[in-house]
Chains A and B, each alone.
Chain A
Amino acid sequence: MSCKPLLRHYATAPGPHALVFLEHRGGVIDSGSLSALTAAQQLGGQVSGLVVGAAEEVQAAVQSAKKLSGLSSLLHASSPQYAAPITEIISPLLERVLSNDSPFTHVVSAHSSFAKSLLPRVAAKLDAPAVSDITSVEHDASSNSTTFTRPIYAGNAIATVRAPQSIPIKFFTVRSTAFSAAVPQDGAQVEDKALDPVDVADPPTQHVKTDLTKSDRPELGVASRVVSGGRALKNAETFKSTMEPLADVLGAAIGASRAAVDAGYCDNSLQVGQTGKVVAPELYMAVGISGAIQHLAGMKDSKLIVAINKDPEAPIFQVADVGLVADLYEAVPQLVEKLKAQ
């Protein structure tokens, strides 16, 4: 394998060596992966990045990844087969990178939809368990064990788990909101190394198409402000006409409760909660959301929670820093007007 000389350089270095799967969209590294990189650094050893995709995109992603602080080397593989990420096609590449005398002790990724599909499959091939959605990580080099915390039961309990020495490669996905994003460093230029792609002849899964929801607003998962609407918004039109002016005046991303998504008021990808996006913005404004356990799981680490609801008994008020008991159809337009006038 052509990457061996580069890797052997590090093989003698003591301590952990993490492989971070860096995801990108159109050659721009995802912010979730930048948080995963920060988590990987906390292991206290070498950190290698891996970028996979179509040739042009990988080139762009490699250029920006090389400048990231905390990376000690960067691996990349490009193939037309990697253009749309398909687990069954990318998994064999990771299996090869991690096989036999690989130096890697940890495999790290964001808890994104693609990495969630990929990492457990790769871990299975190596007969290793994986740890999902971790919020902290600590490695003990002397015992070669890694201890994680992760939310369970929709964030209503925090489990502390240890991956002991008996697990040779420790796989984990990282909750992005729990770690700051790694930043580019002036003058940093890590070594990069191209890997040969693994050609998967006759893959069992083929990409047909992707429909992404287009929006000019900040991305929900990383926005510093989020305004979120619930069932009380009645229908798609009122959801739009109520939430959009509010989002605009605050420069916020729009989120939604499961009830609002299921009722078709807005797109699925806006769902905040246990099974949707987990957000932790500076400001989370919940409009017409009662605050079910599953919703709270996705937003209760927000810095300032504001709730507008006409039911004073709504559970959302138990976590809100600022609560306003009011009819949202009066309060929200008034709020928008007064904010605009400032």
Chain B
Amino acid sequence: MRPSAVRLLNILVPVKRTVDYAVKIRVNPDQKGIDLNVKHSMNPFDEIAVEEAVRLRERLKDEVKSIKVVTIGPPKSAETLRTALAMGADAGIHVEVPESAPAPEPLGVAKALRAIIEREKEKGGIDLVIMGKQAIDDDAGQTGQILAGLMDWAQATFASKIVVDVAKKEANVTREVDGGLEEVRCRLPLVVTTDLRLNEPRYASLPNIMKAKKKPIEKLTPSDLNVDLTPRLETLKVTEPPKRVGGGKVESVDELIAKLKEAGITPVKA
């Protein structure tokens, strides 16, 4: 006899289109930002989040009812949604902002996500949000925590392992904290943010990329969600960091030790 699940799990995965992690960025001479005419891809931590959602479904089978991905960004962010759909998500939501709009802040993004979660209520609600621990462009690392705060939900940041018990409506999450690991037990609904070591994201296969083209993407605007994405912090300027000049090479270990000595670095006495 098959036990019937008390409740089925709906997962939401927010993703962000960022400058590709391997690109060496250039600061614009006008000091207003960086050159964005470069390769973009999905924020690496978000790929891990999508992968984890897909793996949860592979582990829990029918207990996972849906995996939705959402992005907030310019028209081109739709590509990022397609990538997530090709990895195994079911449907996408694109909150489109104009190309020229300033990048929204974590607080604005979290409010938009809150509005999306509210909208999803009539479709069964969201039980689990999995998102990256930080975006590699603004390096803020706040959105997940803010969303959990706005919703008054449990949060588990910097996750390196997630075990969900759908029947109990609980998740055990191992977190990477300063100095080691910490395990917490969280009640659903829950916001999890992913650390690097949670999983190894899959590559989307060509058939899956083709299939992803048929998956639905709902388009919304910030005003549909009744949110204002105008930044509240003013970015005055963006500059190059101070340049480090390599000091050249030495030929031998002896020369290396001499250089260390010159800098006042001597061995410690045991």
Cβ contact of B181, chosen from A123, A210, A274, cutoff 8 A: A210
The 6 closest A-B pairs by CB, nearest first: A124-B149, A251-B268, A321-B247, A204-B154, A120-B145, A121-B149
A340 on the interface (CB 8 Å rule)? yes
Interface string of A119-133 (1 = CB under 8 A from B): 111111101111111
Complex: A300 Cα to B238 Cα, angstroms: 19
Instruction: Spot the interface stretch: A13-21, A51-59, A158-166.
Output: A158-166
Complex: A130 Cα to B145 Cα, angstroms: 11
Contact (A205, B233) CB under 8 Å given A113-B158, A323-B246, A342-B266: no
Interface string of A130-163 (1 = CB under 8 A from B): 1111000000000000010011111111111111
Q: Which residues of A contact B156 (CB under 8 A)?
A: 205
Q: How many residues on the A side are at the interface (Cβ–Cβ under 8 A)?
A: 96
Asked if residues B196 and A258 are in contact (CB atoms below 8 Å), the reply is yes
| Nearest-Cβ distance from residue B144 to partner chain A, whole angstroms | 8
Asked if residues A153 and B183 are in contact (CB atoms below 8 Å), the reply is no
Complex: A36 Cα to B105 Cα, angstroms: 23
Asked if residues A211 and B180 are in contact (CB atoms below 8 Å), the reply is yes
Asked if residues A250 and B268 are in contact (CB atoms below 8 Å), the reply is yes
Q: Which residues of B contact A320 (CB under 8 A)?
A: 246-247
Asked if residues A152 and B137 are in contact (CB atoms below 8 Å), the reply is yes
Complex: A131 Cα to B265 Cα, angstroms: 36
Contact (A121, B247) CB under 8 Å given A116-B141, A324-B256, A338-B253: no
Name the prevailing secondary structure of the A interface residues: mixed
Interface size class of B (residues with CB under 8 A): 35 or more
Instruction: Spot the interface stretch: B5-13, B171-179, B203-211.
Output: B171-179
A191 on the interface (CB 8 Å rule)? no
| Nearest-Cβ distance from residue B182 to partner chain A, whole angstroms | 5
Asked if residues B139 and A151 are in contact (CB atoms below 8 Å), the reply is yes
Asked if residues A210 and B233 are in contact (CB atoms below 8 Å), the reply is no
Contact (A112, B178) CB under 8 Å given A160-B236, A262-B197, A323-B248: yes
Complex: A109 Cα to B197 Cα, angstroms: 26
Cβ contact of B149, chosen from A116, A125, A282, A340, cutoff 8 A: A125
Q: Which residues of B contact A211 (CB under 8 A)?
A: 180-182
Complex: A129 Cα to B255 Cα, angstroms: 51
B150 on the interface (CB 8 Å rule)? yes
User: Across the two chains, which residue of chain A brings its CB closest to B246?
Assistant: A318
Asked if residues A153 and B149 are in contact (CB atoms below 8 Å), the reply is no
B250 on the interface (CB 8 Å rule)? yes
Asked if residues A116 and B154 are in contact (CB atoms below 8 Å), the reply is no
User: Across the two chains, which residue of chain B brings its CB closest to A294?
Assistant: B21
Name 17 interchain pairs, CB-CB below 8 A, sorted by A: A84-B182, A120-B145, A124-B147, A153-B136, A156-B25, A159-B237, A167-B232, A205-B156, A209-B182, A210-B177, A211-B181, A248-B270, A268-B181, A308-B256, A322-B256, A324-B256, A338-B254
- B160-198 at interface with A (beta carbon < 8 Å): 160, 172, 175-187, 190, 195-197
Interface string of B239-259 (1 = CB under 8 A from A): 111001011111011111101
B146 on the interface (CB 8 Å rule)? yes
Asked if residues A334 and B183 are in contact (CB atoms below 8 Å), the reply is no
B138 on the interface (CB 8 Å rule)? yes
Interface string of B106-122 (1 = CB under 8 A from A): 11001000000000000
Interface string of B1-28 (1 = CB under 8 A from A): 0000000000000000001011011010
B267 on the interface (CB 8 Å rule)? yes
Q: Which residues of A contact B185 (CB under 8 A)?
A: 205-206, 208
A181 on the interface (CB 8 Å rule)? no
- A244-297 at interface with B (beta carbon < 8 Å): 248-251, 258, 261-262, 267-269, 274-275, 282-283, 293-294
| Nearest-Cβ distance from residue A322 to partner chain B, whole angstroms | 5
Asked if residues A225 and B182 are in contact (CB atoms below 8 Å), the reply is no
User: Across the two chains, which residue of chain B brings its CB closest to A224?
Assistant: B265
Asked if residues A321 and B136 are in contact (CB atoms below 8 Å), the reply is no
- Given A268-B160, A323-B249; 12 other pairs, CB 8 A cutoff: A87-B155, A129-B233, A130-B107, A157-B240, A163-B233, A204-B186, A209-B182, A212-B179, A249-B270, A282-B265, A335-B256, A338-B257
